[in-house]
Amino acid sequence: MPHSSPLPIDTLDADILIIGAGGAGLLAALHVHETDPKLKIVVAVKGLLGQSGCTRMVQGGYNAVLNPSDSLERHFTDTIKGGAYINNQELAWMLVAESPKRIVELENKAGCIFDRNPDGTIHQKAFAGQSFDRTVHKGDLTGIEIMSNLRDYMLETDIRILQECRGLDLLTNDGKVGGALLLNIRTGRLSTVRAKATLLATGGGATMYRISSPSLEKSGDGMAMARRAGAGFVDMEMLQFHPTGLLVGTSVATGGLLEEGLRGAGAHLYNGLGERFMERYDPKLERATRDVVARSSYLEIVAGRGSPNGGVYIDGSHLGEEFLLRNFPGMVERCADYGFDLVHDRVEVSPSAHFQMGGITIDLACRSSLDGLFAAGEDAGGVHGANRLGGNGVADSIVFGGVAGDSMTDYVMGRELPTISAAQITALSQHWTRPLAAARGERPFGLREELEDVMWDRVGVVRNGADLESALDTLAALRERAQQAATAGPAASNPAWNALMDVLNLCDIGQMVAQSALVRTESRGAHYRLDYASPDPSWLKNIFLTPNDDGDLDVHFEPVKFTRLAPPSSI
């Protein structure tokens, strides 16, 4: 394909392109390879294989029905109740039905070994919001166990891995997705990958908030790429704040999580006055769902009852040193690294932006609204509704990564590689490389701080209409300023240039979150508005956003389809 560009462009063809190499991306690759090893698979990972992304950071575990006393129906009901009844119920059922099978697959194909009971059965621990202890784990380092073994599996295949390689934009032909334009961050070289099927599995954009938990390279690249290509989105207002992110001053470690299992095991939360404040918010106390606990903590803080550094305290010391060291060694060590003593003392924590329940609209085959484009994991919306249960996140990635792999394998059979115009490639490459030659313009780092502040203060744990309208204006202005920013210098290993790309993507996603939040005039799950503080049964609807030709978003609503479980009338 001929081209002209300020940077050299490499070309590569594949049957299947997977952008993102966390749990969803690697399970998709595993399923494709196991089904048809002859298919050419290319996996692009923004960092290093097995060392980046959020699946690796999972401490808590993976929800699956394994105990005869548990049931799929019970897990499903917990998931729908946790999601405040706006989940896509067929996607949620697929999650719970496929999750046990994936545990067997992770152990027998990928080589993961999860903690065992004395009788040899897999141990499952308590997580908040669940009616049964069904969380499979490897101590409190479950993600490392999963990702290390998936990485080793990939390295034993002929799957092409492009490390330190980020997606810039999708390549399209007559509304059909045919691959992507990528950037090798280390070398500064662009590449086009033509593919019969493309999977977005890059994760969400919670790092647009001042306090957040995801890995630092996460910037919702897949969602932003999908928006620019015209894909549809669902319930983007639903963004989860984890209740217990560490407070470590201005360190990038601020927002890193103390996982759900600690509260599930009986740790208590206290405000700055030493009161166990959850008693006044929910009868389940610290084992209430994440949205309830995060909001309760936030309300304590803004009421002036927070800790000295603007948080609350978590205390597990009463559980005993032996118990904590045996069950939570990773968290004990992490706290010690920052000067905190989780074993003997209270530790300051804050709500931390964590996970997007909203995302790209998918069907049961992980197909988006665009032909040739698939999405899985946090890039996709609908599974979790208004709130995700702890332990359902990594299950989501593993389950739907596998589903996407199976679906793409079927999809590519008998298809030809798409034709992508040289003009499109040239235009996209010139667009993304413009800041390298800009002599004047703002630097992206200050823009990033402003973005984080507006999202935290006006589109955060507690929202209201006036703040959301103001945030939309500010986000539009920030995006315009970012379009004119300068990151002059070489393309290779240019942190300012990559930071600017992150800001642009996060502005796109932040606008979708704020716009949906303004439209939903009720409080439901993770979405809480002071001006509409109660759930409204008339809002048992999903909010769909579709990009239009003007670059704006068309909004429409559809009543939730209660295909398996109807809500009580008061919800």
Burial class of 119 by CB neighbour count within 10 A (0 to 12, 13 to 18, 19+): exposed
Q: Which residues, in sequence order, are CB contacts of 327 under 8 Å at separation 6+?
A: 125, 139, 140, 261, 265
Nearest-angstrom CA–CA distance, 193 and 145: 31
Helix, strand, coil percent content, the chain, rounded in steps of 5:
40, 20, 40
Is 242 a catalytic site residue?
yes
Kind and range of the H or E run holding 105: helix 89-105
- HEC letters along 309-376: CCCEEEECHHHCHHHHHHHCHHHHHHHHHCCCCCCCCCEEEEEEEEEECCEEECCCCCECCCCCEEEC
Nearest-angstrom CA–CA distance, 266 and 283: 14
Nearest-angstrom CA–CA distance, 183 and 190: 5
User: Do residues 185 and 46 lie in contact, with contact meaning Cβ atoms separated by under 8 Å?
Assistant: yes
Nearest-angstrom CA–CA distance, 547 and 362: 16
Name which of 441, 501, 504, 512 is nearest 478 in CA terms: 504
φ/ψ of residue 60, rounded to 5: -70, -65
* Catalytic site residue from 33, 210, 227, 263: 263
CA angle 559, 561, 566 (to 5 degrees): 110
Is 102 a catalytic site residue?
no
481-508 as b/e, with b when 16 or more CB fall inside 10 Å? bbeebbbeeebeebebbbbbbbbbbbbb
Other Cβ atoms less than 10 A from the Cβ of 557: the count is 11
Nearest-angstrom CA–CA distance, 484 and 315: 47
Name which of 462, 482, 476, 470 is nearest 553 in CA terms: 476
Alpha helices per DSSP H over 461-553: 465-483, 495-519
Tell me 379's DSSP state.
G
User: Do residues 471 and 521 lie in contact, with contact meaning Cβ atoms separated by under 8 Å?
Assistant: no
- The two beta strands, 135-136 and 312-315, are unpaired
Here the tokens at position 6 are 């300020």
Nearest-angstrom CA–CA distance, 397 and 135: 15
User: Do residues 42 and 160 lie in contact, with contact meaning Cβ atoms separated by under 8 Å?
Assistant: yes
Nearest-angstrom CA–CA distance, 210 and 310: 13
Nearest-angstrom CA–CA distance, 261 and 267: 9
* Catalytic site residue from 242, 354, 448, 527: 242
Query: How many CA atoms lie within 13 Å of 478's alpha carbon, on the beta-carbon side?
Result: 31
Tell me 14's DSSP state.
E
Here the tokens at position 474 are 């500010």
- Annotated catalytic residues are 242, 263
